[in-house]
Amino acid sequence: MKRLSLLGATGSIGRSVAKVLADAPGLFEVEAVAGGRDVAALAQAARSLGARFAAIADPQSGPALAAALEGTGIASGAGPSALIAAAQRDADVVVSAIVGVAGLAPTVAAFAPGRRIALANKECLVAAGSFFMAEAARRGAEILPVDSEHNAIFQALAAAPAAAVEKITLTASGGPFRLRRREEIARAVPQDALKHPNWAMGAKITIDSATLMNKGLELIEAQHLFAVPPERLDAVVHPESVVHGLVSFVDGSVVAGLAMPDMCVPIAHCLVHPERVATTCRRLDLVKLGRLTFEAPDEERFPALRLARAAMEAGGALATMLNAANEVAVAAFLEGRIGFYGITDTVAATLDRMNGGPAPASVAEAHDLDMQARRTAAALLPKFAAKAS
């Protein structure tokens, strides 16, 4: 039996990991779980998974977590140091699913020779991709992508050597506004944007899907994960969310990864690769589905994709700044302080004002750039407040 640590146990990825483990009892024993602020959910996850250690990011929640785990024998801790401790405990696989740039330091702390990192945290690659991948290689950690799109690409790449790859294409559902006119989208409120047609996700990533920023961030991730230049990366809208990624090879063949939209599929793959484990996820029935459709993304109605492409092509610190500004703007939209297009307006204005710089070469540099961009974006928010519906 192998050991697993789950960083981000209380979110949607954490719940899917728990489901995969329940489907395959005896596959792993859980060494550690970590969460953000939800004491009750983290304590429940620790108990149900039989974890040895639980860590909560909020330093003030330590006593409450200890009380919730009293009598279980599960050790606990609170604050950033506890997250690092959870990441560094003896485990064969560490699932990195802490949301945001807060997941960068614990994930890097988890690197160890031969250890597998099942990566579900976008910010590790978007905010510090070059450093992150180089550090993982230096310390002998294996990075496997949990995102359904990147996992599909990872599996498809087994069909031929990297030198034979002509293009990598990620798919996007198009979100809830795929068929809406720009003027309709401009009037959208958070409740509208949170109605994703295919996936059940957290609020931030659901809004990113509605703006198509999520796909832009995933292109940046793919650049680092698969060491391919921006010109060989593409995105296509695929509303059924069944084809998750495609690899086009120099001989004209294309290998695609297909599955029902269920995060248990890529999670199960990452946990046991190169083996396979049975899951109870929904099975794909192409006859019942009837059709698969594909469309070019509209970067006029969804300018976030264009902003992310530009940041990827320019390189340096722009992706770090883009990610931070987007997090600030999405939070402001969810709070009703700016309108839907205020998100991309804020991001664009932040990038214009900060004007790039070198890519971060450490966790500390990534955090510093992130904070600078957050402050800049926050200062710019009032400029777009009048556009809120």
| Domain's final residue, options 107, 130, 146 | 146
CATH number of the domain encompassing residue 337 = 1.10.1740.10
Number of other CB atoms surrounding residue 88 within 10 Å: 16
Residue 286 has pLDDT above 70, yes or no: yes
List pLDDT tens digits, range 325-355.
Answer: 999 999 999 999 999 999 999 999 999 999 8
How much is the pLDDT for 170?
98
- Pick the last residue of a domain from 146, 173, 189: 146
**pLDDT tens column, 85-99:** 999 999 999 999 998
Q: Is the dihedral of CA 337, 196, 46, 114 positive or negative?
A: negative
* Spatial separation of the C-alpha atoms in residues 31 and 10, rounded to whole Å: 16
Note the pLDDT of residue 326: 97
Rounded to an integer, what distance in angstroms lies between the CA atom of residue 79 and that of residue 241?
37
Kind of pairing, strands 165-172 and 233-237?
parallel
Q: Give the torsion sign (CA, 333, 207, 127, 8).
A: positive
Compute the average pLDDT of residues 240-258. Answer: 97
**Three-state SS letters, the chain:** CEEEEEECCCCHHHHHHHHHHHHCCCCEEEEEEEECCCHHHHHHHHHHHCCCEEEECCHHHHHHHHHHCCCCCCEEEECHHHHHHHHHCCCCEEEECCCCHHHHHHHHHCCCCCCEEEECCCHHHHHHHHHHHHHHHHHCCEEEECCHHHHHHHHHHHHCCHHHEEEEEEEECCCCCCCCCHHHHHCCCHHHHCCCCCCCCCHHHHHHHHHCHHHHHHHHHHHHHHCCCHHHEEEEECCCCCEEEEEEECCCCEEEEECCCCCHHHHHHHHHCCCCCCCCCCCCCHHHHCCCCCECCCCCCCHHHHHHHHHHHHCCCHHHHHHHHHHHHHHHHHCCCCCHHHHHHHHHHHHHHHCCCCCCCCHHHHHHHHHHHHHHHHHHHHHHHHHCC
Q: pLDDT by residue (tens digit) across 190-208?
A: 999 998 777 667 788 899 9
Is 305 domain-assigned? no
pLDDT tier at 239, thresholds 50, 70, 90: very high
C-alpha distances (whole Å) from 291 to each of 149, 170, 172, 248, 378 are: 20, 19, 16, 21, 44
Token pair of 83 as six digits: 């997250």
332 in any annotated domain: yes
Burial of 283 per CB tally in 10 Å (0-12, 13-18, 19+): exposed
Q: Is position 348 within any domain?
A: yes
Q: Residues of the chain with pLDDT > 90: what percent? A: 93
* Cβ neighbours, 10 Å, residue 120: 30
Which residue did the predictor score with more confidence, 368 or 100? 368
Q: How many structural domains is the chain composed of?
A: 2
Q: What is the pLDDT of residue 200?
A: 67
Q: Is 297 inside any structural domain?
A: no
Per the structure, the complete domain to which residue 14 belongs is given by 2-146
In a domain, 357, yes or no: yes
- Is residue 272 situated within a structural domain? no
Burial of 186 (0-12, 13-18, 19+ CB in 10 A): middle
**For 178, how many CA atoms within 13 A lie in the half-sphere containing its CB?**
20
Average pLDDT along the chain? 95
Q: Is residue 128 part of a domain?
A: yes
Looking at 146, 168, 196, the residue that finishes a domain is: 146
Determine the pLDDT at residue 388: 43
CB proximity list for 155: less than 8 A, separation 6 or greater: 257, 269
Q: Which residues contact 67 (CB under 8 A, 6 or more apart)?
A: none
Specify the amino acid at residue 138: R
> Domain containing 134 — which CATH number?
3.40.50.720
Is residue 107 included in any domain, yes or no? yes
